[in-house]
Structure 1
Amino acid sequence: MSSLEPSRRDTRLDPYIDQYADRTGSMTVSAVRALFAVANRPEVVSLAGGMPNIADLPLADLGASFDQLIQTKGVQAMQYGSGQGELFMREKIVEVMAEEAITANPDDVVITCGSQQALDLVTRIFIDPGDVILAEAPSYVGAMGTFNAYQAQIHHVEMDEDGLLPDALRQAVVALRAAGKAVKFLYTIPNFNNPTGITQPLERRREVLAVARELGVLVVEDNPYGLLTIEGEPIDAMRSMDPEVIYLGSFSKTFAPGFRVGWVLAPHAVRERLTIAQEAAVLSPPVFSQFAIANYLDNFDWRGQIATFRSMYQARRDAMLDGLSAHMPTGTTWTSPNGGFFVWVTLPEGLDSQALLPRAVNERVAYVPGTAFYADGFGSRNMRLSYCFPTPERIYEGTRRLGKAIADELEMHATFGLDTGEHRHTDRNLGPAPDVS
């Protein structure tokens, strides 16, 4: 280089870019978390996040009970614990799972830092880069983030109003194996699927399990909402029908998320590897949280508290469904969940939920665009609405604002002659056509 030529020095925003592991390239920001700055503004009705409403918990009594816990068992509760989780907590978890007809041994339970870590550990021990995970279409955005972080390929399996389609599952497995792909497991949320709110009936669960057994596909059942059914009793878990199912549970929705206690119920050999992975990750799950939740289960009417939550969420769900019926333009459809936190909306043809979001935020309402819940580009006509946290009055008002945003978008399309025909992705319409007369 001539001494007269200027020296060049490239600059980067991240000076460590060449040092990260390849798998970090698959990590993306959660679409739900990305909305927090907007959704948390007080003037915005947030129908975006799935944050449980815990205001109905007996907080004063819980505080006094936890104070007594620290006085009597503080030395043990604030110490390191077992990598698998404390035995007394695993015994309590077995009692909770019995509510959904699961018979289990505490020795086959591994306690985790929320069910999100349970999902991470299961993925860690089964997935090599390029392996395939089957998931419902659409599926939980947090699960797909975990799968992507371990460089898995996510293949969606079609759903209908009763959940995962057994024939579609069979076709997917056969085609993927014929293409030389390693199908490691099926990830499913059979109760009040996140994001659709759809529940698999008992017979559909049996059919899905029969296909999985026939083809030798492991089933991972994620069930954070199962006890929060609104009408009727909880449906028996898939794990209750097949002891080879890996079951993920959590206290985040039925008690409080701040304790970060979830669990995995797995076949014994899998449990051994999960415990090793858990110890490598955190040494032991939060011991104080385990003492606190066991204390709650021992000394409070936790079944009665779940009934209180069910009634509270029913009022919120009804407000959302009433609001959608009152305010959505013709051509909009949605699901009608019997529990959980979410409703899945399909927009009129030609509309895009991501493009609509700025207009909705301008109307002071937030939601999660549907593409966040797919790994294959679908979902552009869909959105997930959450009814778990705002008051019924705020939810109803939120649907009014959203309906105005959609109507204004439709008017703009009509005014400027924009294409309102078949959308570039033919998204799955999982909701019945509503009566908006």
Structure 2
Amino acid sequence: MTGNSLDQHLQRYAQRTTGMRASAIRALFSVANRPEVVSLAGGMPFLNSLPLEALAVDAAQLVGEEGLVALQYGSGQGILRLREQICQVMSLEGIDAHPDDVVVTVGSQMALDLTTRIFIDPGEVILAEAPSYVGALSTFSSYQASVVHVAMDDGGLIPEALVAAIAAVQASGRRIKLLYTIPNYHNPAGVTMAAERRPVVAQICRDAGILVLEDNPYGLLGFDDKVHRALRADDADNVIYLGSFSKTFAPGLRVGWVLAPHAVREKLVLANEAATLNPPVFNQMMISRYLETYDWQSQIKAYQHTYAERRDTMLAALQQMMPAGTTWTHPTGGFYVWVTLPEGFDTAAMLPRAVTNRIAYVPGNAFYADGLGSRQMRLSFCFPTPERIVEGVRRLSDVIDAELDVMRTFGAHSPRPVGGPRSPSNDTL
């Protein structure tokens, strides 16, 4: 394609395409899926513990017995039986919901897209934790939202930082529409919002006229049998809740949901129909059968045990192998550990050396909208076996040692960029 024809194509694109950016995680998949590479990058559930043979029989029976329904078009809101079951699942987190207010989506990523679509005009502000989920940042950027980060610590989102961020944005004359938060076992930070902060955060947003977008895919995957009370449980009018079966059952079925105030529900259904007509009926019926037929809560406990063991393995390996000055979070659930390297490191610049050394991670700057995160990385412990986790951390430590040698030898004149924008301190993730 010539330069002129390329320019002509670029001129045809909608302005919002300038906000689209490739996912740092997706870009790693082709490398991370090589068998010789230990991937601590992707947050893939460990599906081996699922009753796969029995599920195969269920899938065949579903087609044989109810194929005329399962393979047909369906409702843009999702099938009623699954919405009723979703309400039962959410009740574990203290949520009292009606199926009419649930909208089934093609994964919670679609729920993020629909919610952003119906609320955000270009230039409007979404507040998001620092760091924040890369998929959410990509969605917000594609709708030309302006993301303003709010600091976290080991207790999650800091209410005082939220108040300060709201005041600063309002002083600049911009309009804040949403606060996006992952309160439980945060992706990527691994921290959980303290119970006493939750009503405070909700009240701050109510007072400021800001909707709360509560994204909770990991809420049932705590390692201490504790289920945290959802923000939505105490604020039905100002919290939009996003859930997913991708982490507690199977991501390949792509079934998530939105629980929204009744007035918002209708707009979400219309947006869902415009995007997909309806979420796949077969996938919904498979999950509905699973919830009816299997002891799904025991399956979640099996996941919890598996992930807790792998979390322990990763933390022990980090303790043994990381250089002085490195810090990391200590998650009590979920999939991720957030690592901060000493001053001078740039984890994005270090990634090619890591891939050469057959280890993959996600650089921290992928989780910020403002260029921070240069010293951070996200490590995932959910998918690799404990043995692979230990080997992965060992390879990672070799890469970090090699980078340290370069910095000691060349200092500021290193042939690879180091440093970059200063990242938050360990006090604010």
Structure 2 length-normalised TM: 0.96
**Matches of 1:85 and 1:213, distance apart in 2:** 29
Contact 1:345 1:431 survives alignment (8 Å)? no
Please tell me whether the aligned partners of residues 153 and 427 of structure 2 are also in contact (alpha carbons under 8 angstroms): no
| Secondary structure of 2:104's aligned partner | strand
Contact 1:201–1:235, Cα closer than 8 Å, also in 2 = no
> Letter of the aligned partner of 1:415 in structure 2?
T
Give, in whole Å, the separation in 2 of the partners of 1:419 and 1:198.
36
Q: Which residue of 1 aligns with 2:95?
A: 102
**Equivalent residue number for residue 144 of structure 1:** 137
- CA shift in 2, pair 1:362/1:424, >3 Å: closer
Letter in 2 for 1:72: E
The counterpart of 2:386, out of the listed 387, 392, 413, is 392
1:423 and 1:402 mapped to 2: Cα distance?
A: 18
Other-structure match for 2:402:
408
- Structure showing greater Rg: 1
SS at match of 1:18: helix
Cα distance in 2 for residues equivalent to 1:333 and 1:215: 35
User: Could you report, residue by residue, the CA deviation over 1:119-138 in whole angstroms, capped at 9, with x for unpaired residues?
Assistant: 00000000000010000000
The SS at the match of 1:35 is helix
Asked if 1:188 is matched to 2:203, the reply is no
* Equivalent position amino acid for 1:271 in 2: R
Measure the CA separation in 1 of the matches of 2:425 and 2:296. Answer: 37
Q: Which moved more, 1:246-255 or 1:223-232?
A: 223-232
Match of 1:234 in 2: 227
Distance 2:356 2:282 in 1: 43
**Equivalent position amino acid for 1:43 in 2:** E
Equivalent position to 1:29, from 22, 26, 33:
22
CA displacement at 1:256 relative to structure 2 = 0.2
Quick check: 1:346–1:431 contact (8 Å CA) kept in 2? Answer: no
Q: Report the counterpart of residue 293 of structure 2 in structure 1.
A: 299
Aligned ranges 1:28-427 → 2 under 5 Å = 28-244=21-237, 245-418=239-412, 423-427=419-423
Residue 361 of structure 1: CA displacement? 1.4
**Equivalents in 2 of 1:39, 1:60: separation in Å?**
27
Q: Provide the rounded CA distance (Å) in 2 between the counterparts of 1:10 and 1:231.
A: 58
Alpha-carbon distance between aligned partners in 1 of 2:9 and 2:321, rounded to the nearest angstrom: 50
Q: Is the 8 A contact 1:196 1:342 kept in 2?
A: yes
Shift of 1:417: 2.8
For 1:101 and 1:126, locate their aligned partners in 2 and report how far apart those are by CA, in whole Å.
26
- Give the distance between the partners of 1:396 and 1:12, measured in 2 at CA: 51
The alignment partner of 2:128 has SS state of strand
Give the whole-Å Cα distance in 1 for the aligned partners of 2:365 and 2:83.
37
| Structure 1 position 356, deviation (Å) | 1.1
**Are the equivalent residues in 1 in contact too, given 2:76–2:272 (CA < 8 A)?**
yes
Q: CA deviation at 1:15?
A: 5.5
Residues 45-89 of structure 1: per-residue CA shift (max 9 Å, x gap): 001111111110001111112222222211111111111111111
Deviation at 1:215, TM superposition (A): 1.4
- Separation in 2, partners of 1:258, 1:210: 37
Partner deviation per Cα, 1:225-281 (whole Å, 9 max, x = no partner) = 000001231111111111121000000000001111000000000001001111111
Percent same amino acid among aligned pairs? 59
Measure how far apart 1:221 and its partner are: 0.1
Gaps of 5+ in 1: 1-8, 433-437
Return the alpha-carbon distance in structure 1 between the equivalents of residues 160 and 32 of structure 2: 39
Aligned length: 424
Q: How far apart are the structure 1 equivalents of 2:63 and 2:427? A: 49
CA offsets, 1:102-133, max 9 Å, x none?
11000000000000000000000000000100
| Superposition deviation, residue 430 in structure 1 | 4.0
**Which whole-Å CA distance do the structure 2 matches of 1:140 and 1:14 have between them?**
33
Paired with 1:419 and 1:80, the residues of 2 have a C-alpha distance of 61
Distance verdict in 2 for CA 1:14–1:39, change over 3 Å: farther
Q: Secondary structure at the match of 1:417?
A: helix
Q: Which amino acid aligns with 1:187?
A: Y
- CA distance in structure 1 between the aligned counterparts of 2:16 and 2:269, rounded to whole angstroms: 23
CA contact (8 A) 1:198 1:335 kept: yes
What root-mean-square deviation, in Å, do the aligned CA atoms of Structure 1 and Structure 2 show? 1.7
- Alpha carbons of structure 1 residues 47 and 13: separation in structure 2 relative to 1, 3 Å: farther
C-alpha deviation, 1:425, in angstroms = 2.9
* Residues 397, 14 of structure 1: alpha-carbon distance in 2 compared, 3 angstrom cutoff: farther
- Give the counterpart letter for 2:152 in structure 1: M
Structure 2 CA distance for partners of 1:409 and 1:293, relative to 1, 3 Å? same
Deviation per CA, 1:137-166: give whole Å up to 9, x if none. 000000000001000000001111111111
Report deviation, 1:429. Answer: 3.8
1:18 partnered with 2:11: yes
Q: Tell whether the 8 Å contact from 1:246 to 1:265 is kept in structure 2 after alignment.
A: yes
Say if 1:360 and 1:72 are closer, same or farther in 2 by CA, change over 3 A.
same
Distance (Å, rounded) in 1 between the aligned partners of 2:296 and 2:3: 60
Change in CA separation of 1:92 and 1:16 when aligned onto 2, cut-off 3 Å: same
How far did residue 14 of structure 1 move?
7.1
